[in-house]
Amino acid sequence: MAMNSDAELPGPGAGPGSGGAEESADDERLACGRLLSEVWEAREGGSDDPDTDRDRAPDRDPHLRTCPHCAAAVRQLDLLGVAVREAGGGRESEWDAGALTERVMDVVRLELRPGRPLPLGEREEDLWVREAMAAKALRAAAETVPGVRAGSCRIRPAESGGSPSRGPVRVRLEVVVPLTPRLRDLAEEVRRRVRGAADDALGLPVDHVDVHITDVTEPAGADPDDPAGTEEGNQP
């Protein structure tokens, strides 16, 4: 269990530590120099400006009307937006453009930086899951423990061998946890939920889960009895 006090936590949308976080800006920049996210937001009609409706935004920026790269990007993103909305299966009855955009961009990000393929199921099967998606699921599982925030999550074959290896994987997850006298129990609970998600959500055979506590936060000041970690072991 490693501890240090100045850990940097990536935001929830940031990469799972699969390596190319720094290239992201370039990856999402179109040939014309625009960022994909800017183009998409303009298409959405400038959600920070309530006076702007969808159709007016491109008028203020002639480039968006004439640039073939932006036009292609908008067309693709529209298609993807429709697909993502349909995938919601009516769970989001309210059209929430912000949430939809975030989910579309999440798909875009994972497509740009999918990470390595990891084996799903049995050794002799030819089924895979991308590391970025698996890491997203495991980080989310860790964060179901109250107060825990997941940072970098790296997933590697536990055994070296052919590439890509079909064996079970080793997970290395960094977390920031609330201050509790039972850090070991808390880490164990994180490990248990990560293993659970690997099994129940993915079907990813896991050999080992390393939980690294990179920082400890004070429980919320307003509520000194904050039940973070009460689940097991709040006793001194």
Instruction: Kindly list the residues in this chain that would bind another protein in the complex (CB under 8 A).
Output: 27-31, 36, 68-69, 71-73, 75-77, 79-80, 83-84, 86-89, 103, 106-108, 110-112, 114, 117, 120-121, 125-130, 132-133, 136-137, 200-204
- Of the two residues 128 and 172, which places its CB atom closer to another protein in the complex? 128
Which of 175/202 has CB closer to another protein?
A: 202
CB of 203 to another protein, least distance (A): 2
Phi, psi dihedrals of residue 29, rounded to the nearest 5°: -95, 125
Cβ 204 to another protein shortest distance, Å = 8
CB nearer to another protein: pick between 133 and 176? 133
Which stretches of the chain are assigned E, i.e. beta strand? 117-120, 127-130, 149-157, 169-178, 206-217
Quote the least distance from Cβ 219 to another protein, whole Å.
30
Residue 107 CB, shortest distance to another protein, in Å, is 6
In the chain, DSSP finds a helix count (H) and a strand count (E) of 8, 5
Closest CA to 74 of 48, 98, 55: 55
* Helices 97-112 and 36-43, packing angle to 10 deg: 160
Check residue 179 and give left, alpha or beta (phi > 0: left; psi -120 to 50: alpha). Answer: beta
Nearer to another protein by C-beta: 3 or 82? 82
Our CB check for another protein shows the closer of 46 and 203 to be: 203
Least Å from the CB of residue 121 to another protein: 5
